[in-house]
Amino acid sequence: PVSKGMTPYGVGKRFELAVSDLGSDDKKLLGNENYFLEVWMGAIRNGIEPLPILERAIGNVKTRANRELNTVPKVDEKIKDITEKMKTAKKEEQIKLIFNLESLKKVKINLEIRNQKLVESIPNFTEAMKQIMEYRVEQGIPSVDIKFKEE
């Protein structure tokens, strides 16, 4: 991420990746504080102010997470509908409904896991931001308080 020619768009996409993957089990996915810091430093080296881009990236990640979280009740409703249909369905139709039901249950579990991982990433993100602010102070750059809207 420190290459010359990094654009604000590239910084934003990399921040989104860093923030959303901080909760990943697989740290090979770049989901760690170091990648986050590399993106921040890469932006600075390329003359890009990273803070407003980071705030937008976090907003984008939150929007995606909320969209996925809002999908869970819809999936629950579909599961309930299929369960009701199974009571009156013929044997052949029940087989299809069972397949659909199992698929929806897997979708729901995956959505819940992704949301939980995003929640778990917050301490890692907080630690990375602390390191960034300490670096800013060391370099004589004023530290800033980042306040994000609580949802």
Rounded to an integer, the average pLDDT of 34-39 is: 79
Task: Provide the pLDDT for residue 80.
Answer: 92
Is the pLDDT reported for residue 100 higher than 60?
yes
Which pair of structure tokens corresponds to residue 14?
A: 């990399």
| Rounded distance between C-alpha atoms, residue 110 and residue 57, angstroms | 23
Task: Provide the pLDDT for residue 81.
Answer: 92
Please provide the average confidence, as pLDDT, over all residues in the chain: 76
Q: What is the pLDDT of residues 132-144, one digit of tens each?
A: 777 767 777 665 5
Q: What is the pLDDT of residues 4-13, one digit of tens each?
A: 678 999 998 8
Which pair of structure tokens corresponds to residue 32?
A: 């760690």
| Rounded distance between C-alpha atoms, residue 41 and residue 19, angstroms | 15
Task: Provide the pLDDT for residue 143.
Answer: 56
Looking at per-residue confidence, does 14 or 71 come out higher?
Answer: 14
Q: Please state, in angstroms and as integers, the Cα–Cα distance from residue 1 to each residue in 12, 28, 39, 124, 130, following that order.
A: 11, 16, 5, 19, 20
Q: What is the pLDDT of residues 59-90, one digit of tens each?
A: 787 777 677 667 778 888 999 999 999 899 89
